[in-house]
Amino acid sequence: MTTITRIETFLVAPRWLFVRVETDCGIVGWGEATCEGRSETVRAAVDQLAELLIGRDALRIEDHWQVLTKGSFYRGGPILASAVAGLDQALWDIAGKHFGAPVHQLLGGPVRDRIRVYGWVGGDEPSEVRDHVAAQVEAGLTAVKMNASGRMSPVASVAELDGVVARVAAAREVLGDDRDVAVDFHGRFTLANARRVAPLLEPYRPLFLEEPIVPENSHLIGELVRSTTIPVSTGERLYSRQEFLPVLQAGIAVAQPDLSHAGGITEVRKIASLAEVYDVQLAPHCPLGPIALAACLQVGFATPNYLIQEQSIGIHYNLSAEVLDYCLDKTPLTFVAGHVERLTAPGLGIEIDEQAVRSADKRGHAWRGPIWRHPDGSFAEW
C-alpha cells in the first residue's frame, strides 16, 4: 500500500494554491486547487478534507474522489470542487510516478502526440489589440483569445456594440484566415446583448464565443446557440457532469471545465465522455499555474474530443510570477509551432521546484477580482 502521510498547501504568487501530498514510500504528488480570489477558503477546505486521506492508500483515486465529493451531507460548489480537484491531481501524479508512466497512459494511452494551445491578448483599442495579437503570432501561437469587452451595459449602446466588433475585426486582420480568435464574453453580457452582438461577429468567424451569459442563467444559453452560427462555449464555472448536462443538451459546441475547479482529472474525464455523446469538443479553462496546465494536458492526450488548450503565460494577471517560474525544467511546457508535445515523464509530467514554492508561500498573496459598477452606481459583472 502507498500510504498518504502528509498533505500541505502553498499559497503562491500571483494567485495560485498548490497542494503537496506525501506518501510513506517517498513519492510526492502535486496538485493545484486555485480558486481565483477564494484560494484561502479553498485552503481551509483542503485541510479539512485531508482528514479523510491521511493513512489511506494513495492509489485508490476513484474511491477517494467519491468520499471527498459525497462524504458530507452538503456537497458541490466551487470551494469544495476546487479542494477536491487539487487533491485529485496530486493523487494522479502519485499514481503515475508509482507505475512509472505519465497520467495519460493510465487514462487509456495517448490519442494524439501534441495539443494546440492558445494565448490571451488584451487591448481596449483596436490598435492595441493588433499589437498584442501580433506579439502572440510572433511567439508562434496559431490561436488567441480576447475579451469581448470590459464593463457592459445591460442593454448595450451602439458604441459599446461597435467597440466589440472593432476589436475582434482588428484581431482577425492580424491573424488572417489560417489562425483563430476566440472571444470571451466573461459572463458580462445579458442574453439580449449576446444575441445582438453575435450576428455582427459572424463575418470574422471566431473559433467560439465563450461564457456569453453567467452560469446561473445557463437555462438561457440555448437561445443564443439557436441565434448564431458561431460555436458557443461555456463551463469554467460549472463543476460537475450534472451541471454540464443542461448546457450540453442546449447545444453548446465547446465545453470548458477547469481542472482546478471541476473535481480534478477524475471528474473532467467523465465530463469529456459525456460531452462526446453530444458531439461537443473539450477546451479546458486554464488561466492558472503549471500544475493545472499539466493536468489539463494529461487529460487532453487521452481524450478524443479535445479541441485546444488555454494557457496563461504572459497573461496580465501574472505580475509577480510566471507560469514556468515554479518548474525545475521548463522544457515539457515549451511551445512548438503553437503546440505542446506529448508529456512523457511519470505522473503529471513536470517537476516542481519545491524550494521556490515554499519560499513563495512565505510571502503569500491576497489576489482579489475587481468590483465593477455601472455609471449609475449599480453592480456590474466582471
- What grid cell was written down for 340? 505542446
What is the residue type of 293?
A: L
What residues contact 25, with CB distance under 8 A and at least 6 apart?
Answer: 2, 3, 98
For 332, which DSSP code? Answer: G
> What is the spatial distance between Cα 158 and Cα 237, in angstroms, rounded to a whole number?
29
Exposure of 104 in the CB half-sphere (CA atoms within 13 A): 23
219 annotated active-site: no
Choose among 261, 283, 311: nearest CA to 33.
Answer: 261
Report which of 247, 267, 208, 231 is spatially closest to residue 82, judged by C-alpha positions: 267
Concerning whether 285 is annotated as a catalytic residue, the answer is yes
3-state secondary structure of 115: strand
Phi, psi of 259, deg, nearest 5: -65, -20
Of 64, 98, 186, 339, the active-site residue reads: 186
Q: Does residue 73 sit in helix, strand or coil?
A: coil
Active-site amino acid positions: 186, 285
